[in-house]
């Protein structure tokens, strides 16, 4: 018998991973949650059938969404993380001694519970004393915040379903207000490759660009996401993602990474021409 997980990347393209065993399947008030085990990618988490992370390539996503803003901000103390119930971003953030407080806002408590049970690779720092978890809609939570955070990391699902509100103009405006005068917001920015994804990616970029004075995009290679070519948004009130990076300061922290380094940091903002054009079209 063969068991396969398949995600439809477009109506014409499917991506499949051979499954060894299904470890968990459940439904929360918000979504369907599944955990599988596989030979090639280890354990993986899907929400409503969409790949969120695999043990084999999650380090790329979590390091890139976390260390890029953390290396640019000279003294990040108060951090807000939205989504991210699997714990991957928290694991990376807790490496920073400068961080005094992390607020994690995850709408779905069951994602955290299931991750704690089945994904020890990412859900390994939920006991950090600096962490406060709020089980709440990020869109509502952030409306109440003003001039509070140094860095906001938006680790959302795709721009439909539960995560839709995290891609709206209203939400980005609230993020702007929630940040200090030198604050940085980073979000998962979807893929530029398939037409439908590219349109969603452009829409997102347009909304962020109209809310923040500095809005750049950087890329990483994430094998298990549609096309494998993934983007992140870097939106900031003051700091430029490359000019304000202090490589030696970050390297002195001695944080161990498998993907991110300060040379790659600058390189990640060098985008292919077709992506630059997509972005320019909406700027």
Our CB check for ligand AG3 shows the closer of 163 and 241 to be 163
Nearest approach, Cβ of residue 52 and ligand AG3 (Å): 4
Residue 282: closest CA among 185, 215, 231: 215
Contact of 32 with 38, CB cutoff 8 Å: no
Q: Going by DSSP bridges, is the β-strand pair 101-106/42-47 parallel, antiparallel, or unpaired?
A: unpaired
Measured in whole angstroms, the distance separating CA 102 from the mean position of its chain's CA atoms is 15
Dist CA 101 CA 235 (whole Å): 21
Dist CA 202 CA 191 (whole Å): 10
Nearest approach, Cβ of residue 9 and ligand AG3 (Å): 7
Our CB check for ligand AG3 shows the closer of 7 and 20 to be 7
Contact of 245 with 266, CB cutoff 8 Å: yes
Given 86, 108, 137, 155, the catalytic residue = 155
Nearest approach, Cβ of residue 7 and ligand AG3 (Å): 6
Contact of 25 with 47, CB cutoff 8 Å: no
Positions that interact with ligand AG3 (CB under 6 A):
7, 50-53, 61, 84, 86, 88, 155, 157-158, 188, 225-226
Our answer to whether residue 281 is catalytic in this structure is no
Nearest approach, Cβ of residue 244 and ligand AG3 (Å): 26
- Residue 142 tokens, joined: 């952030």
Partners of 83 in beta bridges: 155
Our CB check for ligand AG3 shows the closer of 88 and 192 to be 88
Our CB check for ligand AG3 shows the closer of 45 and 279 to be 45
Tell me the Ramachandran region of residue 269: left when phi exceeds 0, alpha when psi lies from -120 to 50, beta otherwise.
alpha
Task: List the catalytic residues.
Answer: 155
């Amino acid at each position: 018998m063969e068991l396969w997980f398949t995600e439809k990347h477009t109506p014409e393209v499917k991506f499949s991973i051979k499954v060894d065993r299904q470890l968990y399947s459940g439904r929360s008030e918000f979504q369907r949650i599944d955990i599988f085990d596989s030979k090639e990618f280890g354990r993986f988490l899907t929400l409503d059938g969409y790949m969120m992370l695999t043990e084999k390539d999650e380090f790329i996503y979590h390091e890139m969404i976390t260390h890029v803003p953390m290396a640019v901000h000279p003294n990040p103390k108060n951090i807000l993380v939205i989504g991210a119930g699997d714990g991957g971003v928290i694991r990376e953030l807790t490496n920073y001694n400068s961080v005094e407080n992390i607020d994690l806002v995850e709408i779905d408590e069951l994602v955290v519970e299931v991750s704690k049970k089945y994904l020890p690779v990412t859900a390994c720092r939920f006991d950090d004393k600096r962490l406060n978890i709020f089980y709440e809609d990020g869109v509502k939570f952030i409306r109440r915040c003003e001039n509070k955070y140094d860095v906001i990391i938006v680790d959302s699902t795709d721009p439909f379903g539960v995560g839709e509100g995290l891609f709206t103009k209203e939400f980005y405006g609230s993020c702007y207000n929630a940040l200090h005068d030198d604050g940085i917001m980073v979000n998962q920015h979807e893929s530029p490759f398939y037409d439908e994804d590219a349109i969603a990616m452009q829409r997102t970029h347009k909304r962020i660009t109209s809310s923040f004075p500095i809005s750049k995009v950087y890329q990483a290679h994430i094998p298990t996401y549609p096309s494998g070519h993934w983007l992140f948004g870097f939106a900031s009130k003051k700091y430029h993602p490359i000019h304000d990076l202090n490589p030696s300061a970050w390297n002195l922290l001695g944080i161990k990474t498998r993907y991110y380094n300060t040379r790659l940091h600058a390189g990640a903002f060098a985008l292919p021409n077709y992506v630059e054009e997509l972005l320019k079209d909406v700027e």
